[in-house]
């Protein structure tokens, strides 16, 4: 059994390396527009009027399956809105919303929400046994190698600490079934991680 899990860990590390490699050009690309001259910052006030209806007027989403976007990383928000617009990340709700945005809007929207304070959903801390299981899984996969210490996120790696538990569970399940198909490397990694480890991680992350 030990041997088997070693293989799993090894293949996950390979996947992680591949994933990081495939991320690098995307990250470089997403920085391009902001360094390009001229393009005046668009006025996004009208475009973001509807967001609060679901993501919350105070940053606390109105439903547990809706993610927090206040205080999320701007590069990550950019990639998600771009992927919703392209249809690479399928969502009946977000697809039509993002499809009307231009690249400059998406950049400005990412900046705007990233500057808002991350809301405290007051989710309970994971019980000790759950936290221990989550940290073991974290150590064998190395989630924080990408999501950063304390799961604060960086660049296009999202912050996970304090994210809504039900949303985390849903989006992890969507990665596993590839219903969320915008990052196949992330799906491979989630599929390679045992389901009960992921359940522990979702509970642990929500309570951070």
In the chain, the N- to C-terminal Cα span, in Å, equals 31
User: Can you state the percent helix, strand and coil of the chain, rounding each to 5?
Assistant: 60, 0, 40
Structure tokens at 204: 């642990």
Using rule CB under 6 A, residue 123 touches ligand HEC: no
One of 87, 127, 145, 194 touching ligand HEC (CB under 6 A): 145
Nearest approach, Cβ of residue 1 and ligand HEC (Å): 20
Q: Where are the alpha helices (DSSP H) in the chain?
A: 2-35, 52-55, 74-86, 94-99, 103-114, 128-141, 143-147, 165-177, 184-192, 195-206
Stretch that binds ligand HEC, among 1-9, 34-42, 49-57, 123-131 (CB under 6 A): 49-57
One of 73, 108, 172, 206 touching ligand HEC (CB under 6 A): 172
Using rule CB under 6 A, residue 16 touches ligand HEC: yes
Site size toward ligand HEC, by CB under 6 A: 44
Nearest approach, Cβ of residue 118 and ligand HEC (Å): 12
In whole angstroms, give the CA distance from residue 105 to residue 190.
31
Q: Return the bridge partners of 55, or none.
A: none
Using rule CB under 6 A, residue 19 touches ligand HEC: yes
Query: How many helices, marked H, and strands, marked E, lie in the chain?
Result: 10, 0
Residue 107 CA: distances (Å) to CA of 32, 42, 63, 103, 186: 11, 9, 26, 6, 23
In whole angstroms, give the CA distance from residue 194 to residue 183.
19
Using rule CB under 6 A, residue 20 touches ligand HEC: yes
Using rule CB under 6 A, residue 142 touches ligand HEC: yes
Using rule CB under 6 A, residue 73 touches ligand HEC: no
Using rule CB under 6 A, residue 94 touches ligand HEC: yes
Stretch that binds ligand HEC, among 3-11, 33-41, 93-101, 121-129 (CB under 6 A): 93-101
| Chain residues that interact with ligand HEC, rule: CB under 6 A | 16, 19-20, 23, 47-48, 50-51, 53-55, 66-67, 69, 77, 79-81, 91, 93-94, 97, 109, 137, 141-143, 145-147, 156-158, 160, 163, 168, 171-172, 182-183, 186, 189, 193, 201
């Amino acid at each position: 059994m030990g041997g088997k899990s070693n293989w799993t860990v090894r293949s996950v590390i390979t996947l992680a390396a591949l994933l990081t490699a495939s991320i690098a050009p995307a990250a470089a690309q997403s920085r391009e527009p902001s360094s390009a001259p001229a393009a005046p910052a668009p006025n996004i006030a009208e475009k973001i009027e509807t967001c609060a209806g679901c993501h919350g007027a105070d940053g606390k989403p109105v439903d547990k399956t809706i993610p927090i976007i206040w205080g999320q990383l701007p590069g990550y928000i950019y990639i998600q809105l771009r992927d919703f617009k392209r249809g690479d990340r399928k969502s009946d709700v977000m697809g039509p919303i993002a499809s009307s945005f231009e690249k400059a809007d998406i950049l400005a929207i990412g900046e705007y929400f990233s500057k808002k304070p991350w809301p405290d959903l007051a989710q309970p801390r994971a019980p000790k046994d759950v936290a221990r299981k989550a940290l073991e899984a974290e150590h064998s996969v190395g989630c924080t190698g990408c999501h950063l210490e304390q799961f604060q996120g960086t660049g296009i790696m999202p912050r996970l600490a304090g994210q809504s538990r039900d949303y985390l569970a849903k989006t992890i399940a969507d990665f596993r079934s590839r219903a969320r198909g915008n990052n196949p490397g992330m799906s491979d990694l989630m599929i390679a991680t045992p389901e009960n480890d992921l359940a522990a991680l979702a509970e642990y992350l929500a309570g951070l």
